[in-house]
Structure 1
Amino acid sequence: MLSFIGDYTCKLDSKGRLVVPAVFRKEMQAGQEGSFVLQRNIFETCIDVYPKGEWLRLVEELRAKLSPFNQEHMRFRRGFFHGALEVELDANGRILIPRKMLEQVAIEGDEIVLVGLDSKIEIWDKIKYEEGAMSTEEFVLLTDKLNFGNLGL
């Protein structure tokens, strides 16, 4: 199973291509992944990047929980899959992020941050990512609230 960690500031070129950081590419190669699914994040103004295998695992979980004969379930599925698209790493280690998707999450400049979140990567506008960063005090309070203090965090 792939596990991405760290955050990396990157630049988009004029065509919307981004060179995936070497540490992420190395993890992808170890997991034999070269294909990814981009999807607008449900909760934040960022783009989720799922390795294809992880995306398929997530879709399997949805299939197990959602009935194709339930109208609300189908509405959720439509919303979930809306705008998602598959991309591949090119020979130079880049992926193309469509301009429309960048606009949807208000990435306006060329500086972005890629954030490793275990099984996926998030793509953020650099300024928005920095503005939304949690303070140490906020993190400690959240750790207590979620009862993770017993994990030694």
Structure 2
Amino acid sequence: MFAGRYDHALDEKGRTMTPKRFRKRLVELGDQSVWITNALDGRDHFEVRPDSSFHAFADKLTDLGNTKRLQDLRRYYVGAAVEIEIDAAGRLLIPAQFRAQLGLTDKIAFLGVDRERFEIWHPDVLDQRFAAVADDSDDFLDLLSEKGV
């Protein structure tokens, strides 16, 4: 499971350490690389999937059909994706276009969200998102109850 928040430094070349727990999960999955791409729920962060998960999800998107809207979805998600190798020291090189879009210069936040993916945020933006979610968290129990949890 990719879970938890980890704030890390980002060097001038755009490299950052992958959180140890995330590296452990990648080893469990047998993946040496990850794919970074547009998040499907907003432009304020990016989604990162291990190689095996990315290919499985991309295949599911292909299997959905070929309408114009689905083609646009694949362009946005698969077409924007960049594979990143994790080096021997456990570092990721965040591509320049992704750093520029989020305004990442010297710090980065990793946020684990489920078994198959984690997110990359600017730490300040993630703080703002958490504050907004906390203000609107009263209905979480109702939501879980509706879903049978």
Do Structure 1 and Structure 2 share a fold, with TM-score over 0.5?
yes
> Which among 64, 87, 90 is matched to residue 90 of structure 1?
87
TM-score (norm 2): 0.87
Residue 38 of structure 1: aligned partner: 36
- 1:4 counterpart SS class: coil
- Partners of 2:7 and 2:112 in 1: how far apart? 12
Residues 14-69 of structure 1: CA deviation (Å, up to 9, x unaligned): 100110011111111121111111102132311111001111111121121122xx
Residue 63 of structure 1: aligned partner: 62
Aligned residues: 145
**C-alpha distance 54-116 of structure 1, shift in aligned 2 (>3 A):** same
Residue 22 of structure 1: aligned partner: 20
Residue 116 of structure 1: aligned partner: 112
- 2:60 counterpart SS class: helix
- Partners of 2:78 and 2:51 in 1: how far apart? 14
The 10-residue stretch of structure 1 (70-79 or 84-93) with the greater mean CA deviation from structure 2:
70-79
Does residue 10 in structure 1 map to residue 8 in structure 2? Answer: yes
CA-based RMSD: 1.9
Consecutive unaligned residues of structure 1, counting only runs of 5 or more, are: none
Residue 130 of structure 1: aligned partner: 127
Identity, % of aligned positions? 26
Consecutive unaligned residues of structure 2, counting only runs of 5 or more, are: none
Tell me if structure 2 keeps the 8 A contact 1:39–1:85: yes
The 10-residue stretch of structure 1 (118-127 or 81-90) with the greater mean CA deviation from structure 2:
81-90
Tell me if structure 1 keeps the 8 A contact 2:110–2:120: yes
